[in-house]
Amino acid sequence: LVHASLVSAVVSGGLSACGACLTLAAMAVNLWFRKVPYIRLSSPIVNTIIGLGCLLCHASCLIMTFNAYMGSQLGLCWSQLLCLITGYSCAFGGILAKTWRVHRIFTNKMRLTTIKDWHLCMVIVAILLMDAGLLLALGLLDSPALAVKRLSEQDMISDGAVVLHKLVVCQSSSEVLWKGLIIGMKAVFLLFGIFFAWETRTIHVEALNDSKVIGICVYNTTVMGLIGVVLEFALPIGSVDLRLVLLTCCINICSATTVLLVFGGKVGGQGVGC
């Protein structure tokens, strides 16, 4: 059976662990100083949800690493999927909600609009409920199962015997369809985020001190998301090490960059962050 090498597992696992530690530290600072005016104005509760989402994305990379190195296990496959989808929805859902608030306040010229943090949390909850419905449908209609794939590579040993390379993977019968549904739903959210970010690109007020950088968060997520989708479908399934390193790097970089944008300016007590 084919599995990831120790080197690629250490690299991807180490990056994921470092990203998780960075996120935990940033969330701790955000919560500890949540009453400081500069941090309070940027909705620390929503920022914490964004941080939690990034933490779950790092966790999904750790699970992916363990699966690739030790061999796929059905429970871990589900855990990886849940962490990645939920983490993405929490992180980008929070960014989308904050972008929507800026857009709503400054484009509603008919009357003064007040949008509280709980409104933003409801947006995130709505996105999570959509994820729950999709995952429930996947589990009931086409639950993933372990399958052994025979790879084209094979080795010839000294006595003339042929060694076949096989890979254990988690997959459902309509794998491409479900991936398309998941990616399509996230793409719709991305389009909304890009629209709101573009509409509010010139807005910057002290009361919403993170209105500009949330746009950068949206664009960062879009670019890294596109790269991740291309890698997922372009890389051959037999390239275990390459897939593991590139996919985990893509997710870790996107999550770590989001954390730095969200919390970076807040830690120093000045600058900008989303």
The predicted-structure confidence for 154-163, as pLDDT tens digits, reads as follows: 544 545 555 5
Comparing 208 with 230, the larger pLDDT belongs to: 230
Count of domains observed in the chain: 1
Q: Is residue 182 part of a domain?
A: yes
Closest by CA to 63, choosing from 265, 224, 247, 256, is 247
CATH number at residue 152: 1.20.1070.10
The backbone region for 111, taken as left when phi is positive above 0, alpha when psi lies in -120 to 50, beta otherwise, is beta
Comparing 41 with 100, the larger pLDDT belongs to: 100
Cβ–Cβ < 8 Å for 49, 22: no
- Residue 111 CB burial class (10 angstroms; 0-12, 13-18, ≥19): exposed
Domain of 241 in residue numbering reads as 6-268
Q: Is residue 64 part of a domain?
A: yes
Q: Is residue 274 part of a domain?
A: no
Residue range 242-262, pLDDT digits in tens: 989 999 999 999 999 999 988
Q: Is residue 68 part of a domain?
A: yes
Average pLDDT, stretch 21-35?
Answer: 89
Residue 271 has what pLDDT? 42
Query: Rounded CA gap, 113 and 110, in Å?
Result: 9
Q: Give the chain's mean pLDDT.
A: 83
- What percentage of the chain exceeds 90 in pLDDT? 35
Max avg pLDDT among 101-110, 211-220, 227-236: 227-236
Residue 10 has what pLDDT? 94
Lowest pLDDT segment from 42-51, 82-91, 106-115, 129-138:
106-115
Residue 7 has what pLDDT? 92
Residue 64 has what pLDDT? 93
Q: Is residue 191 part of a domain?
A: yes
Residue 88 has what pLDDT? 93
Q: Is residue 273 part of a domain?
A: no
Q: Is residue 1 part of a domain?
A: no
Residue 34 has what pLDDT? 81
> Would you tell me how many other CB atoms lie within 10 Å of the CB of residue 220?
18
